[in-house]
Amino acid sequence: MTTEDHLAVGFIGLGRMGKPMALNLLKAGFVVAVHSRSRGPVDELVAAGAVACAGPAEVADVADVICTCLPDLAASEQVYLGDGGLIANGRPGQVLVENSTVGPRLARSVATSAAERGIGYLDAPVSGGVGGAQDGSLTIMVGGDAAHLARAMPVLAAMGSNVHHVGAVGLGCVTKLANQLLVAVHTLAACEAILMGREAGADAAQLLDVLSTSWGASGMLTLWGPSIVSGEFGSRAPMRLLVKDLALVREVAADAGVPLPLGERTTALFDEAMARGLGETDIAALVTLLK
């Protein structure tokens, strides 16, 4: 085990978010051990100074604080709970940090298994997109024990400028999913507003300028308005990822006994967009369903 001032950090999952997050850890001076299913990002991180590991077990063998940024629940379950995973191969005193968006049920299950081996666990999903991951300005919503957060804080601070301790394990997930519900509903609202104005005769570009300084403004209007106006969509925020999160939103709402009339209708439209093959397209492409 290294000293508090010289943490060895592990990072598993070097996708569109994970790779820049891990690069920021290297820039902050941490020794970083990395693993990912795709070899290309691993090679990029090694070229920047990271150490490559063959799998989660090897990362667990060398790191004090281990972050994961994984694409789906199955991957998180395997990395944390599998025979070759972090908990089975970890050691007391380590802190595991789940930066992926998972549900509170899974987070609490992983935390329980980790605690049985003396390992800390934080559910710490992030918001801010690829841009926030690149410039280290992510918002990080942390659920878990304060002592575990204190141990991991230097690592989190290298990746995000807004680190919030929101309560016990699972509440990081709940907070992120509340954010994702707003992302989905506000994106649909932006699509409807711009489409309505344009079809009623307003200049779409001017409409966006006016709305952006009016009470109807929102983060999603600012982010996606230009794409909605132009009809040009990339893959910065693939629809499939938000649809995965919306399934977790439904789960949390059902457990809490909270109806989601806007959420349910919005989710149905995103599901339809997936069925039409838009899974890898930016979420603003939802507007194409409304035309």
CA–CA separation, 9 and 32 (whole Å): 5
Choose one of 115, 145, 168: the last residue of a domain: 168
- The residue-averaged pLDDT of 218-223 equals 96
Give the residue among 246, 124, 133, 244 at the shortest CA–CA distance from 183: 246
Residue 6 binned pLDDT confidence (cut-offs 50, 70, 90):
confident
What CATH number has the domain bearing residue 195?
1.10.1040.10
What is the structure's pLDDT at 7? 86
Residues 210 and 86 in one domain: no
Render pLDDT for 8-19 as a digit per residue (tens, 0 to 9).
999 999 999 999
Share of the chain above pLDDT 70, in %: 98
Give the residue among 82, 75, 66 at the shortest CA–CA distance from 15: 75
Look at 260 and 236; give whichever has higher pLDDT.
Answer: 260
Residues 65 and 164 in one domain: yes
Contacts of 99 by beta carbon, 8 Å cutoff, 6+ apart: 17, 18, 21, 67, 68, 69, 124, 125, 126, 140, 159
| Sign of the C-alpha dihedral computed for residues 234, 235, 237 and 238 taken in this order | positive
Count CB-CB contacts under 10 A for residue 87: 22
Residues 200 and 142 in one domain: no
Residue 99 binned pLDDT confidence (cut-offs 50, 70, 90):
very high
Choose one of 122, 144, 168: the last residue of a domain: 168
What is the structure's pLDDT at 5? 52
Contacts of 257 by beta carbon, 8 Å cutoff, 6+ apart: none
Render pLDDT for 26-45 as a digit per residue (tens, 0 to 9).
999 999 999 999 999 999 99
Residue 222 pLDDT exceeds 80: yes
Residue 56 binned pLDDT confidence (cut-offs 50, 70, 90):
very high
Contacts of 96 by beta carbon, 8 Å cutoff, 6+ apart: 65, 66, 68, 80, 86, 87, 90, 110, 114, 119, 120, 121, 122
Render pLDDT for 154-196 as a digit per residue (tens, 0 to 9).
999 999 999 999 999 999 999 999 999 999 999 999 999 999 9
What CATH number has the domain bearing residue 90?
3.40.50.720
Choose one of 148, 168, 188: the last residue of a domain: 168
Residue 150 pLDDT exceeds 90: yes
Long-range interactions of 77-81: CB distance < 8 A, separation 24+: 77/106, 79/12, 79/13, 80/110, 80/113, 80/114, 81/109, 81/110, 81/113
Residues 27 and 47 in one domain: yes
What is the structure's pLDDT at 3? 37
Residue 1 pLDDT exceeds 50: no
- The residue-averaged pLDDT of 258-280 equals 97
> What's the whole-number average pLDDT of the chain?
96
Q: Give the 3-state secondary structure of residue 235.
A: coil
Residues 32 and 160 in one domain: yes
Is 176 considered catalytic here?
yes
Which of these is catalytic: 27, 176, 244, 291? 176
Q: Which helix (H) or strand (E) holds 41?
A: helix 39-47
What is the structure's pLDDT at 4? 43
Residue 2 binned pLDDT confidence (cut-offs 50, 70, 90):
very low
User: Which structural domain range is residue 80 located in?
Assistant: 4-168
- The residue-averaged pLDDT of 70-78 equals 95
User: What is the count of structural domains for the chain?
Assistant: 2
b/e for 189-198, b at 16 or more Cβ within 10 A? bbbebbbebb
Share of the chain above pLDDT 90, in %: 97
Residues 10 and 43 in one domain: yes
